[in-house]
Structure 1
Amino acid sequence: MFYHGFNKYMNHAFPKDELNPLKCSGRGSDKTNPNNIIINDVLGDYSLTLIDSLDSFVVFNDKAGFESAIRNVIKHVSFNVNSKVQVFEANIRVLGGLLSGHLFATDPRFGFKIDGYNNELLELAYDLGQRLLPAFQNSKTGIPYPRVNLRYGVPKSETRETCTAGAGTLILEFGVLSRLMNDTKFENVARRALFSIWNRRTDLDLVGNVIDIQTGQWIHTAASTGAGIDSFYEYLLKAYVLFGESEYLHIFNEAYSAVLRYIRDETGYLYRNVNILNGGLMSAWVDSLSAYFPGLQVLAGDLDNAIKSHLFYYNIWRKYRALPERFNFHLRNVEIASYPLRPEFIESTYFLYRATKDPFYLHVGEMVLEDLQSYARVECGFASVKDVLTKKLEGRMESFALSETFKYLYLLFDTENVFNKLDDNFVFTTEAHIFPLTAQYWKKTWKHKDNFTCSAYKNPKKLASSILERPDADIARELVGFEELSLPFLDPYGYCEAPQADPLILDVSYGEAPDSDGQLVIHVQYR
């Protein structure tokens, strides 16, 4: 059913950036209001959704659709446009999409190699990479400006403040571009930005949310696993997986240890916003972007913590039939009610199923699928949810719905998919683009010295046979205030009490029944 939405985009939105599924039309950037950064940070008048979804055709095993999409990109896309875009979004959605499409169009292993293809996507990626480089040029720290005009470079009025994720989520795409083009400048600037962020960590090994690119001072001092920081952790670990360079793993291990020590709360289910200087709580909410973290914990081999943190978001979804942008865990209610079809919870569900094979995660995927089908599907695709309480919709189907959300749902259920069997050092980027980088692009100095492997999941040998039947599974339900009528409240003292019920009272009397020839009859009445 989500593939139906995929084709609807091709029919109604091309060559615009994004589909308005309520109007069956596409749209590009908001030229009438340059300050509309919600739209203009992402939409750049370069067929965003088409590029972002190229490798979705591969996952869906649509060879004709993949080739048609590739040829449409070659024919119609240019980056010589007067558009100011966010470096982070252009990198993960557009540069990543082009590189992944190129890899599949040239790699015969997957059966999507295109006859007559002459590296046009790679040339487009190189052109885009060149247009993003001015964001780094006048930065004293090497941390890039957050936005760049694709034609004119960094505007003079551009802010010096950027988020940690924006600067720390470049190394995969820039690194692959450098290696494919044999041009080190892209990987060098991305690497410098990543290490510049890490080198400004506090004594607690925590990084903040917003930093000044010129002074290196933290502007917003909250550490979390959510918005503004999330993919910084992700790219540390995935850079190690893809490139095999141990320093990325060592930094990730230090950063992850700090997350467990200071950001994870005492229950083990919840990851908070804390002060980078002292670990003190700074806010009582979590955001939907942080739902990716259980999937990253799976990749790190920490299944116990992944299972627990996933259960927290699972119960939020059950409570609202979606995942609100912000949830207040103190008040146990919604702070920001929108749900723009984000993939992070589904992503973690997919990785946990691949690691555990527990059918519980298939049931979670079925729940998500049925909910989206019930309230988000419209004639021309799937609409973002403006309010999870009322299920009111709005006319946006962001590119990540096709690039990530439905891709992970498809892979969850398609157990025979090639990417569920591929034994290689490939990664899904933070936009779910697939990078199967072959050994010829590894650095000659690469040597795998770590022997880093994850232990296989072992289901506890108890009466319980599934994640949901764990003795502690309902703690997450209590944390989000989800009152499931079929289940009793948990005892606050931590042990189970025998249920209390009214005593059964019987009224018994003796007598003779009419026409019974004197036979004794016992009358019993319940009350």
Structure 2
Amino acid sequence: MARVQRRLLFPLAFMLAVGFYYISSAHNSIPALRWTYESAIAPGVLDDPDYFWRQLSTHYPLQSIRPLPAGKPSRLPKIQHQFSRETGTERATRLGRQQAVQEAFGRGWKAYREHAWLQDELAPVTGGAKNTFGGWSVSTSPSQPSLIGATLVDNLDTLWIMNMRSEFEDAVAAATNISFETSSLTEINVFETTIRYLGGFLSAYDLSGDQRLLRKAREVGDMLYVAFDTPNRMPITRWDVGKAAKGESQEASSWALVAEIGSLCMEFTRLSLVTGDPKWFDATERITEVLKTEQSKTKLPGMWPISINPKDKNFHGDNTFSLGAMADSVFEYLPKMVALAGGLLPEYGEMYIYAVDAAKKYNFYRPMTPDNADILLASAVHVNKDGSGKEVPMSDYVGQHLVCFVGGMLAIGSKLLQRPEDLDIARKLTDGCIWTYSSMPHGIMPETFLMAPCPSKSATCEWDEYAWKKAVVASAEEDVTKLTKEKIRALADQVIFDKRLPKGFTDVMDRRYILRPEAIESVFVLYRVTGDKKLLESAWAMFQAIQKASKTELANLALADITVPAKDKPHQTDSMESFWMGETLKYFYLIFSEPSLISLDEYVFNTEAHPFKRLLR
């Protein structure tokens, strides 16, 4: 669509084309100007000095602001595979699968529209609604208790991508009435608000060029910027927005999750790029500078721990290191910032390489499987002192559904930063998640689980039934050194029966599936990078399994226990978080779309699956 519009403009005089571009706020940039920052902002559309959050007095004013990166973007290596023309049969199969995904989304959106409109989430069994995020009011009626929700904003770009233009227009009209001046909640999560609301508005703007969405992004950005008004300019991640609105002074906490403070840079940088105002870029660059300084000081140099101290800018106190929950996106955003800024911020690539080299050494492990699969999983590492007082990194071998994003991260990094050896690791990590899905009774991966590690990531690892059972008993906190082989086998058989453990698994601690996107995210990215058609079959198997187990009369729901026998229905939870439609179904839809739709060479996804336009030369 956009390419057709540009071809129609080219016969006109160049100045007329440029004039039309500025006046109409056409969003897709003219090729000769692609490397410049966005210039398509209508005069005065963002000049709103009377906006509430812009009027607040600043307690800790800045002496200087870091400018936006200057110069032409680099010609970064291509990420996407050069796809060949598909056959007629392949096209028919792909379109049929894409349609099935869109129908699943359409059912969910219709149910949300009818039963939970303007709320955060649909309750997919009872047809009610849940509100767990911002608690924002409707600007046209701020006294109303109505809560404008995460599902609405999270899915603006999904509606556009799926070509649901009528529904998109309705959603934009509703979203423009969100008021970010007050919240019914005592405390908001700055990270979640950033990735869902700011990311959602920015992405929908990048795709549609609708200036109303950019204005809302600016409003969210102005509100969130106040969370940085602290003595050391580190943000408050769990923020009392009401006190801030009253003009009370504030300071950063002495404890925060590293993901929640280190994963704001993509959204803030993109907002600065499209508005030309560097203040948001400056805000998160201050965090990045601390991350870079602290990266070599941690107990596992290269990695940042799960918890940090923003108040004292001490990011190296904790001893637990993970690419999963509570840390994930701080690592995910490193190569993505390279792509977003067109290579103009090389420090992100340097930090990424340092972190990934450490993770490859300590966090990745090969599990022992009954089919001797050559796969990898990523676990957390705890650095503790041994008997001699030396600090030693030790893996806990806990697998997480959430950490499945790592395969896609490594695939992107392998291309952007020309590290071809990492692509093989990306594939093994993604295959690890695919294997875990297929090994469960319902073909769905649990939240967390344990597996017995192989002696080495690279050597052959033959299945050993007794070694597996010994690990099962050890996972049940039995001292195997005091047990005979016969006792170990008997205890293991009982634990395996009681806990319904498939072969290879030594424990399943969290048996839920909450409609998470991370596995299909990496399958999608790896398919776009490699073109391997086997990944399409893996994606389809995953989609069918999830649909069979989670589909309700209204939409889809979270599952409380996916280890029950295949003949039984998994236990259900009346919950459908916004990321089911905003992330999981979006990735399923895109893997069955033509590769040119949201090309990874033109867009980069934030951690909530919102695609932002990359700076391109």
Regarding TM over 0.5, the answer is yes
Task: Indicate whether 1:199 and 2:267 are aligned.
Answer: no
**Separation in 1 of the partners of 2:120 and 2:291?**
31
Q: Retained in 2: the 8 A contact 1:82–1:149?
A: no
The residue that corresponds to 2:502 in the other structure is none
1:15-34 matched pairs, under 5 angstroms = 15-29=118-132
Task: Indicate whether 1:281 and 2:394 are aligned.
Answer: yes
**Separation in 1 of the partners of 2:270 and 2:279?**
12
Q: For 2:294, what is the secondary structure of its paired residue?
A: coil
1:234 aligned residue (332, 344, 362): 332
State, as a whole percentage, how many aligned pairs show the same letter: 27
Cα drift, residue 343 of structure 1: 0.2
5+ residue gaps, structure 1: 33-43, 107-116, 440-447, 449-527
Q: For 1:255, what is the secondary structure of its paired residue?
A: helix
Do the aligned partners of residues 133 and 353 (structure 1) sit closer, same or farther apart at CA in structure 2, a change above 3 Å counting? same
The residue that corresponds to 1:35 in the other structure is none
2:604 aligned residue (427, 442, 448): 427
Do the aligned partners of residues 75 and 266 (structure 1) sit closer, same or farther apart at CA in structure 2, a change above 3 Å counting? closer
Do the aligned partners of residues 276 and 229 (structure 1) sit closer, same or farther apart at CA in structure 2, a change above 3 Å counting? farther
Q: For 1:220, what is the secondary structure of its paired residue?
A: coil
The residue that corresponds to 2:260 in the other structure is 166
1:134 aligned residue (210, 218, 226): 226
2:574 aligned residue (395, 403, 414): 395
String of CA shifts for 1:471-497, please: whole Å, max 9, x gaps: xxxxxxxxxxxxxxxxxxxxxxxxxxx
**Separation in 1 of the partners of 2:148 and 2:254?**
26
Cα drift, residue 257 of structure 1: 1.3
The residue that corresponds to 1:312 in the other structure is 432
Cα drift, residue 149 of structure 1: 3.1
* Alignment-mate amino acid for residue 578 of structure 2: S
Q: Retained in 1: the 8 A contact 2:328–2:403?
A: yes
The residue that corresponds to 1:65 in the other structure is 167
Q: Retained in 1: the 8 A contact 2:551–2:557?
A: yes
* Alignment-mate amino acid for residue 341 of structure 1: L
CA radius of gyration, larger in: 1
**Separation in 1 of the partners of 2:332 and 2:361?**
18
**Separation in 1 of the partners of 2:376 and 2:595?**
32
Do the aligned partners of residues 438 and 270 (structure 1) sit closer, same or farther apart at CA in structure 2, a change above 3 Å counting? closer
**Separation in 1 of the partners of 2:392 and 2:339?**
30
1:338 aligned residue (507, 512, 515): 512
5+ residue gaps, structure 2: 1-102, 136-145, 368-374, 385-390, 415-421, 453-471, 473-504, 565-569
Do the aligned partners of residues 266 and 284 (structure 1) sit closer, same or farther apart at CA in structure 2, a change above 3 Å counting? closer
Q: Retained in 2: the 8 A contact 1:70–1:101?
A: no
Do the aligned partners of residues 363 and 253 (structure 1) sit closer, same or farther apart at CA in structure 2, a change above 3 Å counting? same
1:75-474 matched pairs, under 5 angstroms = 75-83=177-185, 84-106=187-209, 119-138=211-230, 140=232, 142-153=233-244, 160-202=254-296, 204-215=301-312, 216=314, 218-243=316-341, 244=343, 245-265=345-365, 269-275=376-382, 278=391, 280-301=393-414, 302-320=422-440, 321-330=443-452, 331=472, 332=505, 333-390=507-564, 391-415=570-594, 418-420=597-599, 423-424=601-602, 426-437=603-614
Cα drift, residue 135 of structure 1: 2.8
**Separation in 1 of the partners of 2:532 and 2:133?**
45
The residue that corresponds to 2:9 in the other structure is none
Q: For 2:182, what is the secondary structure of its paired residue?
A: coil
The residue that corresponds to 1:12 in the other structure is 115
The residue that corresponds to 1:52 in the other structure is 154
The residue that corresponds to 2:46 in the other structure is none
**Separation in 2 of the partners of 1:416 and 1:229?**
30
Cα drift, residue 130 of structure 1: 2.3
Q: Which moved more, 1:287-296 or 1:252-261?
A: 252-261
Cα drift, residue 272 of structure 1: 2.3
Q: For 1:61, what is the secondary structure of its paired residue?
A: coil
String of CA shifts for 1:229-260, please: whole Å, max 9, x gaps: 11111111111101022121121112111111
Cα drift, residue 92 of structure 1: 0.5
**Separation in 2 of the partners of 1:342 and 1:175?**
26
Do the aligned partners of residues 416 and 187 (structure 1) sit closer, same or farther apart at CA in structure 2, a change above 3 Å counting? closer
**Separation in 1 of the partners of 2:219 and 2:134?**
23
Do the aligned partners of residues 423 and 292 (structure 1) sit closer, same or farther apart at CA in structure 2, a change above 3 Å counting? closer
Cα drift, residue 17 of structure 1: 0.8
**Separation in 2 of the partners of 1:328 and 1:79?**
45
**Separation in 2 of the partners of 1:434 and 1:212?**
31
Do the aligned partners of residues 256 and 289 (structure 1) sit closer, same or farther apart at CA in structure 2, a change above 3 Å counting? same
Q: Retained in 2: the 8 A contact 1:208–1:276?
A: no
Q: Retained in 1: the 8 A contact 2:340–2:615?
A: no
Q: Which moved more, 1:411-420 or 1:332-341?
A: 411-420
Cα drift, residue 217 of structure 1: 5.1
* Alignment-mate amino acid for residue 381 of structure 2: V
Q: For 1:419, what is the secondary structure of its paired residue?
A: coil
The residue that corresponds to 1:482 in the other structure is none
Q: For 1:396, what is the secondary structure of its paired residue?
A: coil
**Separation in 2 of the partners of 1:182 and 1:251?**
26
* Alignment-mate amino acid for residue 525 of structure 2: F
Do the aligned partners of residues 383 and 139 (structure 1) sit closer, same or farther apart at CA in structure 2, a change above 3 Å counting? farther
Cα drift, residue 158 of structure 1: 8.6
Q: Retained in 1: the 8 A contact 2:122–2:128?
A: yes
The normalised TM-score by structure 1 is: 0.73
Do the aligned partners of residues 173 and 370 (structure 1) sit closer, same or farther apart at CA in structure 2, a change above 3 Å counting? same
* Alignment-mate amino acid for residue 127 of structure 2: C
Q: Which moved more, 1:233-242 or 1:276-285?
A: 276-285
**Separation in 2 of the partners of 1:261 and 1:195?**
25
Cα drift, residue 284 of structure 1: 3.0
Do the aligned partners of residues 438 and 285 (structure 1) sit closer, same or farther apart at CA in structure 2, a change above 3 Å counting? closer
Cα drift, residue 283 of structure 1: 2.2
String of CA shifts for 1:137-170, please: whole Å, max 9, x gaps: 2254x44222113343399799531111111111
Q: Retained in 1: the 8 A contact 2:446–2:512?
A: yes
**Separation in 1 of the partners of 2:559 and 2:167?**
28
The normalised TM-score by structure 2 is: 0.63
Q: Retained in 2: the 8 A contact 1:82–1:152?
A: no
Q: Retained in 1: the 8 A contact 2:339–2:614?
A: no
The residue that corresponds to 1:517 in the other structure is none
Cα drift, residue 214 of structure 1: 1.5
